[in-house]
Chain A
Amino acid sequence: MSITIENINKHFGTYKALDNINLEVGSGELIALLGPSGCGKTSLLRIIGGLELADSGKLLFHGEDVEARDARERNVGFVFQHYALFRHMTVFENVAFGLRVKPRKERHHEAEIQRRVHELLSLVQLDWLHDRYPAQLSGGQRQRIALARALAVEPKILLLDEPFGALDAQVRKELRRWLRRLHDELHITSIFVTHDQEEALEVADRVVVMNKGKIEQVGTPDEVYATPATPFVYQFIGNVNLFHSRDHAPWTQQHGDAVAYVRPHDIDISTSPQDDTALPVEVKLVRAIGAIVRIEVSADDSCELIEIELSRERFDTAPLACGDKVYIRPRQFRVFETGETNELSAT
Chain B
Amino acid sequence: MASFRAHSVLPGFNLALGFTLLYLSLIVLVPLSALFFKTATLGWGGFFEVLTSDRVSASLRVTFLASLAAAVINAFFGLIVAWVLVRYSFPGKRIVDALVDLPFALPTAVAGITLATLYAPHGWIGQYFAAQGIKVAYTPLGIVVALTFIGLPFVVRTVQPVLEDVEAGVEEAAASLGAGRWDVFRRVIFPAIYPALLTGFSLAFARAIGEYGSVIFIAGNMPYISEIAPLLIVSKLEQYDYAGATAIAVIMLLISFALLLSMNALQWWTCRRGAR
- Name 13 interchain pairs, CB-CB below 8 A, sorted by A: A70-B175, A71-B172, A71-B176, A74-B176, A82-B169, A85-B170, A86-B188, A87-B274, A87-B276, A88-B191, A101-B180, A135-B275, A150-B177
Q: Is B231 at the interface (CB under 8 A from chain A)?
A: no
Q: Is B58 at the interface (CB under 8 A from chain A)?
A: no
For the complex formed, measure the closest distance between the CB of A158 and the CB atoms of chain B, giving whole angstroms: 11
Bound complex: CA of A86 vs CA of B179, how far in Å?
13
Q: Is A115 at the interface (CB under 8 A from chain B)?
A: no
Bound complex: CA of A51 vs CA of B177, how far in Å?
12
Q: Is B12 at the interface (CB under 8 A from chain A)?
A: no
Bound complex: CA of A98 vs CA of B274, how far in Å?
20
Chain A interfacial positions (CB closer than 8 Å to B) = 49-51, 70-78, 80, 82, 84-89, 97-98, 100-102, 133, 135-136, 146, 149-150, 152-153
Chain B interfacial positions (CB closer than 8 Å to A) = 167, 169-170, 172-180, 183, 187-188, 191-192, 274-276
For the complex formed, measure the closest distance between the CB of A83 and the CB atoms of chain B, giving whole angstroms: 8
A-B pairs, 8 with minimum CB distance: A84-B169, A98-B177, A78-B176, A101-B179, A84-B173, A88-B274, A88-B191, A71-B175
A78 and B167 in contact (CB under 8 A), knowing A97-B179, A101-B179, A133-B274?
no
Contact indicator A72/B176 (Cβ below 8 Å): yes
Contact indicator A72/B175 (Cβ below 8 Å): yes
Contact indicator B169/A80 (Cβ below 8 Å): yes
Contact indicator B178/A153 (Cβ below 8 Å): yes
| Further 7 A-B residue pairs, CB within 8 A, beyond A49-B176, A102-B178 | A70-B175, A84-B167, A86-B173, A88-B191, A101-B180, A133-B274, A149-B173
Contact indicator A51/B274 (Cβ below 8 Å): no
Contact indicator B169/A136 (Cβ below 8 Å): no
Residue of chain A at shortest CB distance from B194: A88
Bound complex: CA of A118 vs CA of B191, how far in Å?
24
Q: Which of A72, A76, A100 has the most CB of B within 10 A?
A: A72
For the complex formed, measure the closest distance between the CB of A238 and the CB atoms of chain B, giving whole angstroms: 32
Q: How many A-B residue pairs have CB under 8 A?
A: 79
For the complex formed, measure the closest distance between the CB of B151 and the CB atoms of chain A, giving whole angstroms: 27
Contact indicator B276/A78 (Cβ below 8 Å): no
Contact indicator A80/B172 (Cβ below 8 Å): yes
Which of A70, A97, A135 is B177 in contact with, Cβ under 8 Å?
A97
Which of A75, A76, A97, A152 is B174 in contact with, Cβ under 8 Å?
A97
Chain A residues closer than 8 Å to B187, beta-carbon distance: 86, 97, 100-101
For the complex formed, measure the closest distance between the CB of B115 and the CB atoms of chain A, giving whole angstroms: 39
Chain A residues closer than 8 Å to B188, beta-carbon distance: 86
Bound complex: CA of A100 vs CA of B180, how far in Å?
12
Chain B residues closer than 8 Å to A87, beta-carbon distance: 192, 274, 276
Chain B residues closer than 8 Å to A77, beta-carbon distance: 176
Bound complex: CA of A285 vs CA of B144, how far in Å?
79
Q: Which of B176, B183, B187, B275 has the most CB of A within 10 A?
A: B176
Residue of chain B at shortest CB distance from A93: B187
Residue of chain B at shortest CB distance from A51: B172
Residue of chain A at shortest CB distance from B166: A87
Which of A70, A82, A133 is B167 in contact with, Cβ under 8 Å?
A82
Contact indicator A88/B192 (Cβ below 8 Å): yes
Chain A residues closer than 8 Å to B167, beta-carbon distance: 82, 84
Bound complex: CA of A77 vs CA of B177, how far in Å?
7
Bound complex: CA of A88 vs CA of B170, how far in Å?
12
Contact indicator B177/A133 (Cβ below 8 Å): no
For the complex formed, measure the closest distance between the CB of B166 and the CB atoms of chain A, giving whole angstroms: 9
Chain A residues closer than 8 Å to B275, beta-carbon distance: 133, 135-136
Contact indicator B172/A72 (Cβ below 8 Å): no
Contact indicator A78/B179 (Cβ below 8 Å): no
Contact indicator B176/A76 (Cβ below 8 Å): yes
Bound complex: CA of A77 vs CA of B175, how far in Å?
10
Bound complex: CA of A133 vs CA of B275, how far in Å?
7
Bound complex: CA of A136 vs CA of B180, how far in Å?
28
Residue of chain A at shortest CB distance from B190: A88
Bound complex: CA of A102 vs CA of B177, how far in Å?
9
Bound complex: CA of A146 vs CA of B169, how far in Å?
12
Contact indicator B178/A101 (Cβ below 8 Å): yes
Bound complex: CA of A89 vs CA of B191, how far in Å?
9
Contact indicator A78/B180 (Cβ below 8 Å): no
Residue of chain B at shortest CB distance from A100: B187
Contact indicator B178/A50 (Cβ below 8 Å): no
Bound complex: CA of A285 vs CA of B252, how far in Å?
81
Bound complex: CA of A87 vs CA of B162, how far in Å?
13
Residue of chain A at shortest CB distance from B188: A86
Bound complex: CA of A153 vs CA of B179, how far in Å?
11
For the complex formed, measure the closest distance between the CB of A155 and the CB atoms of chain B, giving whole angstroms: 8
Bound complex: CA of A213 vs CA of B201, how far in Å?
48
For the complex formed, measure the closest distance between the CB of A76 and the CB atoms of chain B, giving whole angstroms: 6
